[in-house]
Amino acid sequence: WDKKLSPEMRKVAMYKGSYYAIPLVEHRENMMWANKALLAKYGGELPKTWEAFNQLAERMQKDGVIPLALGGEDWQEGQMFTSVILGVGGKDFYNKAIIEQDPEALKGPVMGKVFDQFRKMINFSDKNRIGRDWNAATQMVIDGKAGFQFIGDFAKGEFLRAGKVPGQDFLCASSPDNGQNFVYLTDELAFFSQKDPQRQANQKKFAELVIDPAVQIEFSRRKGSIPTIMDVPLDQFDACAQISLVDRKDNQANGGMLPSFIENIAVDRDVRGVLMDVITHFANTPSMTSQQAADRIVKDLQNL
């Protein structure tokens, strides 16, 4: 496994030097999804910067089109916030503000810009988003009722289930200004220690099957993820997965693989709770300013 698994997957699957779980899939959180036919009416190009996205979304909104599909669950807001903070601040700021919870970074001008952009994103969504499941938001993009969604690559499973083809019916890329930076999360199958030799053998066999390249490739192709193992052939995957596979390989050498704080990898759960409370309160409180949000994060973290 030390040779097969990607480095970040080894890190999250081990405890005190031993594997306790099987990393089933590796997901990328900071993804952008778009309806190709709808986007074609506005030039057909995916926005590469937040400024370009804002301009495009404003045009859509003026035409009565919902620019952004979003649900009311806090983690949906959180995953979108990840794309914003990484796009506005970059990976060094993500590490400072999220991983290290540096007070100066959290209350500084960059975080203010992050919340400013996040407010614009919220305003580009529709008023009926409260209570909407993530896959219902994805369906809005599939049906052309909304232009974009910013959520993890598991959304691709919904497009595929609806018979849609990457590049033909929908488009995908890392979120604006995110570049190759990759915020990762994983689904794992945890094992409990067993004394019975037969159960130990069963666990070992099951683990071998899950990590088998054929299983990893086929499962990820259906789910929207990429395999947790390295050295898989690119031609076995669609264009969306190929982007993530290439970016993962390049990032593993330059520190661009960043753990998700939404999905309980980057920070302790009490820290996540503080971040999520402020993000969702800000998203649902139009009167809250960006500075108030940043100051509240610092204050609440100090009270842990």
Give the tens place of pLDDT for each residue, 246-255. Answer: 999 998 877 7
Quote the CA–CA distance of 98 and 24 in Å, as a whole number. 25
What pLDDT sits at residue 103?
97
Q: Strands 170-174 and 182-190: what pairing?
A: unpaired
How many Å apart are CA 64 and CA 16, to the nearest integer? 55
Q: Which domains does the chain have, with CATH numbers?
A: 7-28+183-258 (3.40.190.10)
Contact 303, 278 (CB under 8 A): no
53, 223 contact by CB (below 8 A): no
Predicted confidence at residue 48, as pLDDT, reads 98
pLDDT the model gives residue 61: 98
Instruction: Note the pLDDT of residue 256.
Output: 78
Burial class (CB in 10 A: 0-12, 13-18, 19+), 188: middle
Q: Is 42 exposed, middle or buried (0-12, 13-18, 19+ CB in 10 A)?
A: middle
- Residue 22's pLDDT is 92
The crossing angle, in degrees rounded to 10, of helices 50-62 and 109-124 is 30
Amino acid identity of residue 15, one-letter, is: Y
For the chain, list residues with pLDDT below 50: none
Give residue 254's pLDDT. Answer: 78
C-alpha 51/C-alpha 36 separation (Å) is 20
- Which pLDDT value is given to residue 113? 98
pLDDT at res. 253: 79
- State if pTM tops 0.85: yes
Give Cα separations from 190 to 121, 184, 187, 258, 261 (angstroms).
36, 18, 10, 22, 20
Q: Which residue is associated with the tokens 């915020």?
A: 183
Q: Two tokens at 51?
A: 């400024």
CA 137 – CA 139 distance, rounded (Å): 5
Write the pLDDT tens digit of every residue in 10-37.
Answer: 999 999 999 999 999 999 999 999 999 9
- DSSP classification of residue 70: -
First to last CA, the chain: 37
User: Percent of the chain beyond pLDDT 70?
Assistant: 100
Please tell me the predicted confidence (pLDDT) of residue 252: 85
Q: Measured between alpha carbons, how far is 78 from 281 in angstroms, rounded to an integer?
A: 11
